[in-house]
Amino acid sequence: MERVMSQQRTLPAGDRARTMRFRPLNLARWLIWGTTALVMIVLPLIWPRGFAITLLSQMGIMIIFALSYNMLLGQSGMLSFGHAVYAGLGAFMAVHLLNRIGAAQALGIGGPLAVALLPVAGGLGGALFGVLFGYVTTKKAGTTFSMITLGIGEMVFASALMFPDFFGGEGGVSTNRSIGEPLLGIGFGPARQVYYLIAAWCLISMALMYAWTQTPLGRIANAVRDNPERVEFVGYNTQRVRYLVVILSAFFAGIAGALSCINFEIVTAENVSAVRSGAVLLAAFIGGMGTFFGPIIGAVLTVFFTVALSSVTKAWLLYLGLFFVLMVMYAPGGIASLLMMHVPILRRGKLGTLLPAYGVMVVSALVLLAALIASVEMIYAVQDDSAGGVTLFGLSVQPATWTPWAVTAVLWVAGAIGLRVAAGKLRAAWDLALQERQP
């Protein structure tokens, strides 16, 4: 080992740089990105139905949106309550441009290629408003910054009814993504073609935002998040750093907005609302803002709750709220933090010692989840006076009788006891795995 280290020290600087550049870690990153692209290509082939394609498209849009928000909060420490402004205004810029391209078809201008490049226009539109609003918001930091972003978000949302020529009033602005003659059989009429366009832009945006985290600006943004006073002391302008991050974040949010315009073929005031800003904040928090992949997980789960689960039950918002409360109480760092805390155990090769305790915990959690679902759905059925009962796990249940409530109570007790026992075993196994040293 010492001989290898001495040989590395005697190498010229350029050779040492090349040696470090071709580390296995870089190959692993290429493998991760390649696998991600392959998954995006294969998913529509596995789930070819229209609803699944729509769900995947919305997940791709939300991933870009959540990662752009993570540039603000996770990477730079700026809590914004108005991030939907940039995505929404980028969407409005894109929809007006798309309508103009459609009107110019008689002149032979535009076509599917213009639609494919429309997210660039949306990103530039978002960045333009990022230049405008970011200059004001980044004059302050902390809570003051958050309140200013909230005020700007409400101002833009209120302007939607004041300027109907641009915002389209209550009905919004509609468009048609299928313009011109198909190019190589691609006209973006079918939902699958739109999905692959969204997937391509999602992969490009993910790669660019990850590359940004490795740049000097990304590193300085992390420093501004952690210790702005020290950054000021060494000579950097923290306000300028925050301003640049807001502009870049607004650019990628605008890309997400333009893709939403292409996907739904309509843009309304809802795109700039506080509800939309809250949704991206929720996605970033659930996934975990301390890592790059955390918001990706949060975006997928948030879209699942708001789209897939809402089509199954009326109580989807209650389930989402409970899930968020549990995350705040037991995993404030998000799902990514739960995954990252297993890295030391994995390096020691002791992950297998935790599997029995995790097995009991998963079974107990599933029992508790079944009890929760049964309780909520039966309560909703009683409130709706559903004479036909409710279907739970493929079984027809009558909430008016005492039997389903008794079974649900047993599930609650069994799940709670099992989870408590599993938690104690997991804690003991965890401590033992951390104390033991590999030979």
pLDDT in tens, 15-24: 444 433 444 4
Q: How far apart are CA 315 and CA 310, in angstroms?
A: 8
From 246, 279, 268, 247, select the one nearest 61 (Cα to Cα).
Answer: 279
Q: How far apart are CA 229 and CA 209, in angstroms?
A: 26
More confident residue, 65 or 28: 65
Give whole-number Cα distances, 238 to 77, 207, 233, 244, 434, in Å. 12, 25, 10, 10, 39
Averaged pLDDT for residues 160-178 = 88
Q: Which residues contact 106 (CB under 8 A, 6 or more apart)?
A: none
Identify the weakest region by mean pLDDT among 262-266, 307-311, 432-436: 432-436
Q: How far apart are CA 364 and CA 367, in angstroms?
A: 5
Averaged pLDDT for residues 393-420 = 87
pLDDT value for 2: 38
pLDDT value for 250: 97
Name the burial class of residue 184, with classes exposed (0-12), middle (13-18) and buried (19+) by CB atoms within 10 angstroms of its CB.
Answer: exposed
Q: Answer yes or no: is pLDDT of 428 > 80.
A: yes
Q: How far apart are CA 265 and CA 99, in angstroms?
A: 10
Q: Which residues contact 127 (CB under 8 A, 6 or more apart)?
A: 247, 248, 250, 251, 254
Q: What angle in degrees, to the nearest 10, is found between the helix axes of 274-287 and 143-162?
A: 140
pLDDT value for 256: 96
pLDDT value for 18: 42
Q: Answer yes or no: is pLDDT of 111 > 80.
A: no
pLDDT value for 126: 96
Beta-ladder partners of 392: 395
DSSP assignment letter at 395: E
Share of the chain above pLDDT 90, in %: 49
What stretch of H or E contains 253?
helix 238-264
Q: How far apart are CA 163 and CA 251, in angstroms?
A: 23
Residue ranges per structural domain of the chain: 31-340, 350-435
From 289, 239, 378, 384, select the one nearest 66 (Cα to Cα).
Answer: 289
Q: Answer yes or no: is pLDDT of 204 > 50.
A: yes
Q: How confident is the model at residue 118 (pLDDT cuts 50, 70, 90)?
A: very high
pLDDT in tens, 43-89: 999 988 888 999 999 999 999 999 999 999 989 999 999 999 999 99
Averaged pLDDT for residues 415-433 = 86
Averaged pLDDT for residues 401-407 = 88
pLDDT value for 14: 45
Q: Answer yes or no: is pLDDT of 8 > 50.
A: no
pLDDT value for 290: 76
Q: How confident is the model at residue 436 (pLDDT cuts 50, 70, 90)?
A: low
Q: Residue 356 CA to chain centroid, in angstroms?
A: 32
Q: How far apart are CA 174 and CA 268, in angstroms?
A: 9
Q: How confident is the model at residue 186 (pLDDT cuts 50, 70, 90)?
A: confident
pLDDT in tens, 255-294: 999 999 999 999 999 999 999 999 999 999 999 887 889 9
Look at the block and give the residue holding tokens 């940004």: 212
Q: How far apart are CA 12 and CA 338, in angstroms?
A: 42
Identify the three-state secondary structure at position 179. Answer: coil
pLDDT in tens, 313-348: 888 889 988 998 988 888 888 899 888 888 888 888
Averaged pLDDT for residues 34-38 = 91
Identify the weakest region by mean pLDDT among 128-132, 221-225, 306-310, 435-439: 435-439
More confident residue, 180 or 124: 124
> Which residue type, as a one-letter code, is found at position 59?
M
Give whole-number Cα distances, 400 to 13, 155, 370, 377, 382, in Å. 79, 49, 19, 13, 8
Q: How far apart are CA 29 and CA 21, in angstroms?
A: 12
Q: How far apart are CA 264 and CA 100, in angstroms?
A: 18
The two three-digit tokens of residue 160, written as one number: 């939607």
pLDDT value for 178: 81
Domain 31-340, CATH 1.10.3470 — does that match? yes
pLDDT in tens, 366-391: 999 999 999 988 888 888 766 567 77
The overall pTM is greater than 0.75:
yes
Q: What angle in degrees, to the nearest 10, is found between the helix axes of 274-287 and 316-330?
A: 50
> Is the Cα torsion angle 69, 249, 264, 159 positive or negative in sign?
positive
